[in-house]
Amino acid sequence: MTPNIKLYLAPWLLFGVLAGSFWGSTVSVPVLGHNTRITEQCITSTQTLLQNITKALAQETPFKGINCTRGMELNTATQMVSVCMPRQSTCSGFSNTDFDQDKCLKNIEKDLRCYGEMMLGFHPELLEHTVLNFAEIKQNCFALSLGDRSSQQDTEGCASAQRLTTHNPFDERVQLCKVLKGLQVRTITINRVIGYIHAGEYM
């Protein structure tokens, strides 16, 4: 395959992963019950997501000269931050006297799905070097823990991809940077929560 063909296909292949793999129907697996332990593969997948986002934000193209920390796009469609707080924690104004692993994981899954919905609103060529392993995380973190409940396509309350995009190429690059920055911050939290669940300290 020639370099030109590879360059043309790359963004569309990534777009296909974002549009289909994470939100497509999944094969139902038995629900293993409440508080199923998180696997090492899940930990590796969420760590890889954070590394990939950090690398994407460090690119000069398309983000050179853009400061996307101010106004970063933090998803507010879920209760992930509050329901995934460690037991007895009172950080950030939240108080969590109990920890429900199922509820926490469902909110993490929806959180990632919302960010995926946001990504669908951007032109594929902007995502060419942005590798978001959502499908891998879904398989490694949610298939065993949530079973067939992980296939639910609930995106109610997620920010509209159409609202986030713009016809101005520079503004679109700024908006993508803000979305990725918000996802980076949220993924740091997700990694901490997955580590907390894996350690079993709440049991």
What confidence tens digit (pLDDT) does each residue in 49-106 have? 999 999 999 988 888 888 888 889 988 888 898 899 887 655 555 555 678 888 999 9
- Which residue, 77, 59, 76, is CA-closest to 68? 59
Give the length of the chain.
203
Give the span between the Cα atoms of 178 and 163, in whole angstroms: 14
Listing DSSP states for 6-52 in one string gives HHHHHHHHHHHIIIIITTS---------TTPPPPHHHHHHHHHHHHH
Q: Where are the alpha helices (DSSP H) in 17-148?
A: 40-57, 60-63, 80-83, 101-119, 134-137, 143-146
**Residue 183 in 3-state DSSP?**
helix
- Which residue, 116, 138, 145, is CA-closest to 37? 145
pLDDT, averaged in runs of 10, over the chain (203 residues): 39 36 33 60 96 93 86 89 77 65 91 90 86 91 65 63 67 91 96 90 59
Give the span between the Cα atoms of 159 and 197, in whole angstroms: 28
